[in-house]
Structure 1
Amino acid sequence: MSSPSPKSPELSDHSKKYDRQIRLWGEHGQKSLERANICLINATAVGCEVIKNLILPGIGSFTIIDGNIVTEEDLGTNFYVEKEAIGASKSECCMRLLQELNPDVNGDYLDESIDSLLETRSEFFQSFDVVIASNIKEATLKNLSNLLWDYNIPLVYCRSLGFVGSIRLQFREHCVVEPHPDNKPLDLRIENPFTTLKEHLAVSEVNGKSPWVHVIHKHLVEWKKDHEGNPPKTYKEKNQFKEMIRIAMKSDEENHEEAIKAVNTVFESAGKISSNLSAIFNDEACQKLNTKDKNLQFWVIAKSMQDFIKTENNDLLPLQGVVPDMTADTDSYIKLQSIYRQKAMQDAENVYQRCLNTLLNIGMKNEIISENTVRLYCREASGLRFIRGTKIQSEYSDWDKSTTLAEGLECQQPLMELYAVLRAYDHFYTEFGYIPGESYVEPDTPKLKGLVTKLLQDWNIRHPVSDDMVYEICHYGGAEIHSISAFIGASAAQEVIKLLTQQYVPIDNTFLYSGITTETATYKF
């Protein structure tokens, strides 16, 4: 018999509305979205698609910056303009129609060009949590990149061009608290049980209704006697251990079948420090806490967790306290679940007290870290990550990562070719003052090819880019296709949500897409 499902409480209207996404990132993740203030620069088709996919899950507010007016061309690609608005403010029209998607979200607009705003009121951006930009000039992108880097505000730059698109994430530092891996390791400590679990397993009878944890423990005790106290490690040993369980199994004992299936994973990494967490513990920011650090909460909890692991927990992580569903009688399952939960709460409480002591030592208030937050970190300790990003402006001005590009071109990766041509595309607009192919494709193609060749020479790369790729980009003439914009917009919105909620691992740092071949790729330049 499986563990009983708790009776679901009556959902509020708010929970009903956002139920599906709360299942993905929880109430705490939803609250992070609802506190967010997002800026969109340029109400292009791809830009509006990004904002649409943030408005629907209920971000707090958004502001659109665009000094252009609605044109007939916009009607063919952008769902958030209307014929009656031709000649009127594009930012106002898009804001109004987008806000209709969700009355919970506050919308605003600024009928001004980004260049003017950067020149006269650059401090305007300080109030935003994330800035999204689309299809802007190279010089403007560099200025915006520098400004937001100094303000420590993430920038998501999106491009939709014909049948191709790209996303570039810029952030100084990003903490991933809940990575949501596809296969999260079980942390049941069967091979090295903590005191209360050991005592419980020692007196528990193993039968057809016992949780499979009991089954594995019983046979593990016997196994260790003949294997110098070690659990099964190799593929061969695990098969031998499975056979031990199978021999002892009576007919139709589902818990024993579950135990056999669990053997492959239950011993793998229970309580062990991952390479990502080890890097966090060894980071200078963790060893030398800075009270002005934007991520101070993350580092205080990490340092406190490290102290707990080293001094009290035998170099093991705080216990997750999560017991998977398994075939068992109700009383046995609930008892086992309670033991794990109590130990996890004790570990988290220990780490929390260390956090309070650490805050006291550096002269900070206790309120900046809650007990619930510490419990979350402890539960997700095995997957914690800290990512340091790179600045877009540096990618354009101080190129020193040409190895990645050269290797990609040598291997004839089409999307690496796409990256090189898009960089040349940006230079084309800067040098000639118009978009390649905007009026005439044939004369602009050799010009764009020449810029690609020059860029590759500047990067000391000898591998050429195909003429077909250059012609394809020039042939688009800067046009957006809505299906491509919708795909890029949805993908970029996912990355924004990752940044806001500190859940799931964001791309680092460039995402490329070809609608012709339906290929995607991520690169770090």
Structure 2
Amino acid sequence: MSSIKLPQDTTAVAAAASVDAPVSATTSHVVRPDAHTQRFDRQLRLWASSGQRSLESASILLIGATALGAHILKNLVLPGIGRFTILDPNLVTPEDLASNFFLEPDNLGKSRGAEVTKCLLELNPGVKGLAVVSHPAHVLAEDPSYFTSPENNFSLIIAVNQPSSILLPLADICGAAKDGMGIPFMAVRSSGMVGEIKLQVKEHPVIETHPPSLVDLRLTAPFGELELYADSIDLTTQDTMELAHIPFVVLLLRKLKEWRSQHDGQLPTSRDRAAFLATVNALRTQAGDADQENIDEAVSALTQHIWGPLSRPKIPAKIQQLFEDQKCASVDKLSSNFWLLVRALKSFVEAPAPSPQQSSEPSSALGGGGLLPLPGSLPDMKASSAGYVALQNVYRRKTLQDLANFRSHLANVLGEAGLDAGVIPAEEVESFVKHAGYVEVIRGKNERESREQPAKQAYIQAFDDMTITVQHHLAFLAADRFYTLHSRWPGSDAIFSAVVSSSGVLLSDDPANGPGFVNPSRGSHTFSNKGPVSATDATERAEDTGSPSHPTAGPAAGDTEAMVDENDRRSFKRARALDPPVVSSSSISNGTASRDVVMADVSDTGPAQQQTTASHDQDVDALLQEARAVCTSIGLIDPADPEWEAEHWDKVEEACEELVRSGRADLPSTAALLGGVGAQEVIKLVTRQYIPLDNLCIYDGIKGAIGAYKV
């Protein structure tokens, strides 16, 4: 008789199968997957068809078509997000060409959102995209319902490098959307080699959390049929081949039964580990020269399947907290599917377990007897084909029985809530039962609450990390205050700040600025394109306005880039990088120096560099002043307790200096990494699988470190 090694986590839940239907050991006919399955095969292995359907029905709004924003959408378009919308008023500038690989020189002067949309749609013809050419502040002021309207039905909103004047009102709107359930909101920002992702969710239940293993063998609390099956196996057989193929599950069940018979029905405790291990190893003497792999597996399984269950409560603490939640205690027609399922789970756990003699008919009078439903997964193990299938059928029948009884409890809960019995899809019910021991609810903080009521202790603990990154978050908060005072980011001029934050280079017909350009330093807010337009339409409208070749040309003296022929832009950009132009001291003091000058090497000693260094130092001092105010408001800096300041303020200083030095530059490498992390978190939220970020992730590319915090 040959041995068989079956794949791990062989699941036993099958909705259409009857409880008594056996599992066949023969190979069934293989159906060739369709083109859609073949195309997305690798990701289907991560989040299955249910997750892919959720992804393909999702709608994402991106505010800010920067390089970072484009990278996030790229990583969502490729796996097949259903639809995305880009809200961005800006025209394509030379700075965009330097950082955003989705843009080309021919795009200069055209709608940035439309051009990025057009390029993204080339990656996946199954995705729909839309470019809205309007200022986010205008939409917030004139039509705030745009973000929450059923017509748009945004699944998640992403804001890239937006100032507090945009972030906070938008976070409030997202938090109050959908009758208080909220729309997930992600704020992403970067500056040079550092960046962060801040996530706001009101309540986010996760059923498929993807734990390392779903295997629950119930060795310490065996159900009736499992005990009967284990007792039917002859461990005294002299056939060494047959003995070598007895599943380790049976070996441990028999040894546990033997132990209980010798210890007044008590299971072994932690003090008995060595003694119980000796009883298992005693099987080796009986096996003689035969293969002892199944005994090795039994020894290896002791920690996970015996000592682990004996040392922890039968119901995990997180699940018990859900049972005690007010939303579980009181369900009605407005309750989400998740809380209806949790209420049914609580009822199932409290009901007595069926005995082997009881009917297999589903009943709300029967349940888990203090235990959760059996997931039904079996690990890989040494066993004969027939023996493995027989054991698999035992677990499968119990799993289907628990599923049937759970559905009876759920029907009662739905009836109490005044809902139809079939309101929750069968697939969702089966997934919940299978993952019942691992479901979670993430409840986050509103962005405004995070700033007005900061978690002081969380910040203190974050500074105790071996690789600290939280100081960059404090620097970003200080930069928000700086922007409020100066209408630009530290280390940047007003023009570049507008480019980075989608805050002023608008498609406009204002004759004072010339067609297609609004000077953000004048605070003008002229909007000619207020409604949604397609990528093609937006590009055509940008061309119709006669946009200049360099719409964001600042007042710096000697700036000749606007006169360069469009076919020669790339070579001119290279030449300018090697020989940056000289600017007047007035332009520096006004914060309007060219980006190439501001980012010049501080080791240079020419007049222009001396002026740039002076401006740099002024911004550093101003930003440190705001950082001190931020740390004081959190409670980190306290005159009565100077210990934190003495130990950690230098790290905040370094973070502020780096923020000014980088000047909010959108570096491709940082954008690529944060784009991947941001898209990963979006996929978690949209598919409702895996545990999402809660609530802050900070990346430090200088140290090559990344940290996650809840602040």
Amino acid at match of 2:315: I
The equivalent position to 2:255 in structure 1, one of 219, 224, 229, is 219
The equivalent position to 1:492 in structure 2, one of 637, 661, 678, is 678
Specify the alignment match of 2:159 in structure 1: 133
Deviations 1:452-507 (A, max 9, x none): 11222233322342232221111011101111111111111111111111211111
Specify the alignment match of 1:302 in structure 2: 342
Q: Does the 8 Å contact 1:3/1:333 carry over to 2? A: no
Does 2:479 correspond to 1:477? no
Does 2:448 correspond to 1:422? no
Q: Displacement of 1:248 after TM fit? A: 3.9
Q: Displacement of 1:247 after TM fit? A: 4.0
User: Residues 4 and 472 of structure 1: is their aligned pair in 2 closer, same or farther, counting only changes over 3 Å?
Assistant: closer
Q: Distance in 2 between matches of 1:418 and 1:131?
A: 23
Q: Does the 8 Å contact 1:345/1:375 carry over to 2? A: no
The equivalent position to 1:158 in structure 2, one of 188, 194, 211, is 188
Q: Distance in 2 between matches of 1:90 and 1:203?
A: 72
User: Residues 282 and 90 of structure 1: is their aligned pair in 2 closer, same or farther, counting only changes over 3 Å?
Assistant: same
Q: Displacement of 1:185 after TM fit? A: 5.5
Does 2:215 correspond to 1:173? no
User: Residues 411 and 178 of structure 1: is their aligned pair in 2 closer, same or farther, counting only changes over 3 Å?
Assistant: closer
Deviations 1:305-354 (A, max 9, x none): 11111112220110111111212111111111111111111111111122
Specify the alignment match of 1:254 in structure 2: 293
Specify the alignment match of 1:243 in structure 2: 281
Q: Displacement of 1:409 after TM fit? A: 4.3
Q: Displacement of 1:420 after TM fit? A: 1.2
Q: Displacement of 1:197 after TM fit? A: 1.4
Deviations 1:25-79 (A, max 9, x none): 1111111111111111111111111111111111111111101111111111112
Q: Does the 8 Å contact 2:280/2:295 carry over to 1? A: no
Q: Displacement of 1:365 after TM fit? A: 2.2
Aligned residues: 521
The equivalent position to 2:131 in structure 1, one of 88, 91, 109, is 109
Secondary structure, in 3 states, of the residue corresponding to 2:304?
A: helix
Specify the alignment match of 1:50 in structure 2: 72
Amino acid at match of 2:488: Y
Q: Distance in 1 between matches of 2:276 and 2:659?
A: 55
Q: CA RMSD in A?
A: 1.9
Amino acid at match of 1:223: W
Identity across the alignment (%) = 31
Specify the alignment match of 1:277 in structure 2: 319
Q: Does the 8 Å contact 2:468/2:707 carry over to 1? A: no
Q: Displacement of 1:410 after TM fit? A: 6.9
Q: Displacement of 1:147 after TM fit? A: 0.4
Counterparts of 1:431-442 in structure 2, within 5 Å, are 431-438=485-492, 439=593, 440-442=615-617
User: Residues 260 and 388 of structure 1: is their aligned pair in 2 closer, same or farther, counting only changes over 3 Å?
Assistant: same
The equivalent position to 1:192 in structure 2, one of 221, 233, 256, is 221
Secondary structure, in 3 states, of the residue corresponding to 1:58?
A: coil
Deviations 1:248-301 (A, max 9, x none): 4433232222122111211223892111111111100000114224xx211111
Secondary structure, in 3 states, of the residue corresponding to 1:507?
A: coil
Unaligned runs of 5+ in 1: none
Q: Displacement of 1:3 after TM fit? A: 4.9
Does 2:629 correspond to 1:454? yes
Q: Distance in 2 between matches of 1:135 and 1:241?
A: 64
Amino acid at match of 1:243: N
Deviations 1:335-391 (A, max 9, x none): 111111111111111111221221122111233212332221111111111121110
Q: Distance in 2 between matches of 1:325 and 1:499?
A: 32
Deviations 1:120-178 (A, max 9, x none): 22222221011111100111100100000011100011112111110111010011111
The equivalent position to 1:403 in structure 2, one of 457, 461, 471, is 457
TM-score normalised by length of structure 1? 0.95
Amino acid at match of 1:350: N
Q: Distance in 2 between matches of 1:371 and 1:165?
A: 42
Amino acid at match of 1:73: E
Specify the alignment match of 2:304 in structure 1: 265
**Greater helix proportion:** 1
Amino acid at match of 1:150: A
Range with bigger deviation, 311-320 or 218-227: 218-227
Q: Displacement of 1:186 after TM fit? A: 2.8
Specify the alignment match of 2:120 in structure 1: 98
Deviations 1:384-422 (A, max 9, x none): 1112111012122x2242222244447796312212111
User: Residues 239 and 412 of structure 1: is their aligned pair in 2 closer, same or farther, counting only changes over 3 Å?
Assistant: closer
Q: Distance in 2 between matches of 1:221 and 1:214?
A: 11
Q: Does the 8 Å contact 2:281/2:295 carry over to 1? A: no
Q: Does the 8 Å contact 1:301/1:351 carry over to 2? A: no
Q: Distance in 2 between matches of 1:217 and 1:406?
A: 49
Amino acid at match of 1:141: L
Q: Does the 8 Å contact 1:187/1:266 carry over to 2? A: yes
Counterparts of 1:310-321 in structure 2, within 5 Å, are 310-312=350-352, 313-321=368-376
Q: Displacement of 1:232 after TM fit? A: 3.6
User: Residues 230 and 489 of structure 1: is their aligned pair in 2 closer, same or farther, counting only changes over 3 Å?
Assistant: farther
Q: Distance in 1 between matches of 2:141 and 2:234?
A: 75
Specify the alignment match of 1:352 in structure 2: 407
Q: Does the 8 Å contact 1:238/1:264 carry over to 2? A: no
Q: Distance in 1 between matches of 2:710 and 2:124?
A: 35
Q: Does the 8 Å contact 1:437/1:444 carry over to 2? A: yes
Does 2:518 correspond to 1:518? no
User: Residues 418 and 309 of structure 1: is their aligned pair in 2 closer, same or farther, counting only changes over 3 Å?
Assistant: same
Amino acid at match of 2:75: N
Amino acid at match of 1:18: F
Unaligned runs of 5+ in 2: 8-26, 236-242, 353-367, 493-592, 594-614, 638-643
Secondary structure, in 3 states, of the residue corresponding to 1:269?
A: helix
Q: Distance in 1 between matches of 2:693 and 2:416?
A: 36
Q: Does the 8 Å contact 1:232/1:241 carry over to 2? A: no
Specify the alignment match of 2:436 in structure 1: 381
Range with bigger deviation, 193-202 or 511-520: 193-202
Secondary structure, in 3 states, of the residue corresponding to 1:142?
A: helix
Specify the alignment match of 1:2 in structure 2: 4
Secondary structure, in 3 states, of the residue corresponding to 1:367?
A: coil
Does 2:371 correspond to 1:333? no
Q: Displacement of 1:224 after TM fit? A: 2.1
Q: Distance in 2 between matches of 1:58 and 1:360?
A: 38
Q: Displacement of 1:191 after TM fit? A: 2.4
Q: Does the 8 Å contact 1:40/1:132 carry over to 2? A: yes
Does 2:239 correspond to 1:210? no
Q: Distance in 2 between matches of 1:400 and 1:84?
A: 46
Q: Displacement of 1:431 after TM fit? A: 0.9
TM-score normalised by length of structure 2? 0.71
Range with bigger deviation, 299-308 or 253-262: 253-262
Q: Distance in 1 between matches of 2:55 and 2:255?
A: 48
User: Residues 52 and 230 of structure 1: is their aligned pair in 2 closer, same or farther, counting only changes over 3 Å?
Assistant: farther
Q: Displacement of 1:246 after TM fit? A: 3.8
User: Residues 115 and 411 of structure 1: is their aligned pair in 2 closer, same or farther, counting only changes over 3 Å?
Assistant: same
